[in-house]
Chains A and B, each alone.
Chain A
């Protein structure tokens, strides 16, 4: 009976969720603090922005592509938003910025301090994210370049640009209307949850219920067959990268608001977390497979793992080792599971 239980858990669609719960339970035995209200709040504030990134990444992965530039989009949009919204810039730090005197002054940007600063700032961030995504998409779809190369280049280019624009300085003094997005709560639930919930709902509807969603899977399974079958493959691919850029901008808004600054190095260490979470969730790197729920499970597992590791206070070199080992273990479980599933279908 015990074996059957394990087997059913392994084969379930919700396997990664169960894995997360078991993991959490084991951690709880050793570190009851993990279930404290403060830590749970911390977990949730880490989870939602990461999920936004994974959702965007998922669309690109379903296409059989990859978006390495998400983190640089975060950095760039963080800087763009920060510049537009900040109310005070220290001339000694920023006068070397190429935008000083053009867009930037000691009082921030021309719209700083106005009622429009926050909405326009947010719109500009989203637009910048989508613009980088558009460039990626055009290069992949029209330029027929490999996604890996294209997004690697834009990762380098736009993170460099973000640093260049600010001369590597963080932009402080963001308006309260913006930082509230990162810190505000309704009861115990942070605003970021609602933002990402909307994003996830949109992703779910698009993937499951629209023509476009079915085209995403078709392109990921065989782009040549899709072309012959009249799927507008170029448009689909471009839209995938634009959405990924959009999601990265959303994540950037949430992180920047929480940190209350525009940071040119934002998200620098997040890339592998995003792709790791997507893959652990079950989204295939080979394209054609992915679900919103899987993205959620993957992000949940990853956030739990990071949280546990930081609480263990391991020496700095041990943390990536343990993280790698756990990912390896998860991958191993996944392979076992796939094999069991295959046998299930034959029998």
Chain B
């Protein structure tokens, strides 16, 4: 019987009369890793904000090491030994590692206001060593990879003497190698007796790491228990509250012979090299690669956002050796970028304005003044919103920033539907959205393919590609390393191809 370090006891919280959390009760045993899962809006964030002193509960109580615990602000939570590793890292990229670690409590020379730099550096070095991060404490955070930044955050948590460490979606921006390293460190921390709460949409990871799993749905704990009692399928059905017989909806079409897009010998020095690629009608073609493999860069070149030096992009049988975004759109191409906030959406604009943005010229009068035919546009936008079931609020008043991640992504995809694309490139279309929304995005991809669109699907989740694609092309170091038909999908072989040239991914210290 292990000792309980943290106990939630009937914790409740409402916003404007709506229950965000309802009678949440569970406990975290010391030295255990608890996986907390739930769809967006299930209450995970609210719960963690209460734990971290950002919000105060309306009812119920928390107990930490057997004593009442009710932090009134984040500083009190830190004081009590609760640390957060956030999804969006909270580091000052313009400062060095040591400065970041001690930003709020620099060791000082006696009582003077001057920083004792040697001591700060020595302490920082020790922390970095304990995490096997061979970097100088002076290294600017700006120069670190996302994985290294994460470790700096962990070092920061450890330096505050944290006993409970909370990870919120820690792997979203990590490469496979960095993720592996992070998991090893999490295991180490657990062995050292730290207690961990791990929040993630990546259910496979949760299942791999957790001792216990707690499932939240609509602000309530709907299931909890030891890991052994869970499978990914069960986790999903508990989270969504209905049975999803499959994670991936079944395809209704097979690739046709007709070629929509052909890439021949595409090269851009330092980015991609000699890429050959063929996308057929009604095909879902997967593009797999680790971060930095050139998959996103290739997509951006195809769409005309970045230049290329050699090679050809052939669409509808017309070759061209230089394209602009507007050419690509005119030729029937659509592109969902990997970062929907920066490049996918006008966050401040309404759903309707976002949905209408791409197809706007098609709704203009033929006169040179190009008056917008507002009513026709409004109707078309309403049809898209309706068919995609974009919920929350009236489309002509709700700004995109108020939507959940899943609905935002649906808007990004939806804005291309009015232009009826024949080739649709989607870069990480399900990143950071919950299981239910993922299923909807997958269904949409299948529907589009069934209507004849060729889809180039880029993802760092291999399961997703294996579940969705007719064919997977693997990239590494800017080159195509292999292509696999659905019948020959094999995790090992695909990963092997993706790691080609990456064997030395445990880089030594950079000097």
Contact = CB atoms under 8 A, between A and B. Distances in A.
A210 B325 contact: no
A209 B353 CA distance: 13
A312 interface: no
Interface in B278-327: 303, 305, 325-326
B348 A221 contact: yes
Interface residues of B, number: 29
B329 interface: yes
A222 B335 contact: no
A211 B16 contact: no
A164 to B, nearest CB: 39
Interface in A331-347: 346-347
B347 A222 contact: yes
Given A210-B371, A210-B372, A230-B326, A224 B342 contact: yes
B337 A228 contact: yes
B409 to A, nearest CB: 14
Contacts of B357: 214, 218, 225-226, 229, 231
Interface in A193-225: 205, 209-215, 217-218, 221-222, 224-225
A288 interface: yes
Contact of A229 (B342, B371, B415): B415
A226 B347 CA distance: 12
Interface string A209-253: 111111101100110111111111000000000000000000000
A222 B360 contact: no
Contacts of B364: 210-211
A160 to B, nearest CB: 37
A201 to B, nearest CB: 13
A214 B326 contact: no
A347 B335 CA distance: 37
Contacts of A227: 305, 325, 343
Nearest to A230: B329
B16 A221 contact: no
A217 B369 CA distance: 17
B229 to A, nearest CB: 40
A210 B16 contact: no
Interface string A6-23: 000000000000000000
A214 B360 contact: yes
A211 B326 contact: no
B346 interface: yes
Interface in B320-378: 325-326, 329, 335, 337, 342-349, 353, 356-358, 360-361, 364, 369-372, 374
A346 B303 CA distance: 39
A83 B415 CA distance: 53
Give chain B's interface secondary structure class.
mixed
Interface in A152-201: none
Contact of A225 (B342, B360, B370): B342
Interface in B175-205: none
A218 B326 contact: no
Given A211-B360, A211-B372, A288-B348, A225 B343 contact: yes
Contact of B349 (A212, A213, A221, A228): A221
Contacts of B356: 214
B344 A211 contact: no
A209 B372 contact: yes
Interface in B14-56: 16
Nearest to A227: B325
A310 B45 CA distance: 57
A222 B399 CA distance: 14
Interface centre among A214, A230, A346, A347 (most CB of B within 10 A): A230
A225 B337 CA distance: 9
A214 B342 contact: no
Contacts of B348: 221, 288
Contacts of B326: 230, 232
Contact of A346 (B16, B305, B358): B16
A226 B343 CA distance: 8
Contacts of A226: 346, 357
A214 B347 CA distance: 15
A155 B347 CA distance: 33
Interface of A: 205, 209-215, 217-218, 221-222, 224-232, 288, 346-347
Interface of B: 16, 303, 305, 325-326, 329, 335, 337, 342-349, 353, 356-358, 360-361, 364, 369-372, 374, 415
Nearest 6 CB-CB pairings of A with B: A221-B346, A230-B329, A211-B370, A229-B357, A211-B364, A224-B343
Given A221-B348, A228-B335, 8 more contacts: A210-B370, A211-B361, A213-B372, A214-B357, A218-B346, A218-B353, A228-B337, A228-B343
28 contacts: A209-B374, A210-B364, A210-B369, A210-B370, A210-B372, A211-B364, A211-B370, A211-B371, A212-B370, A214-B357, A217-B349, A222-B342, A222-B346, A222-B347, A225-B342, A225-B343, A225-B357, A228-B325, A228-B335, A228-B344, A229-B358, A229-B415, A230-B326, A230-B329, A230-B358, A288-B348, A288-B349, A346-B16
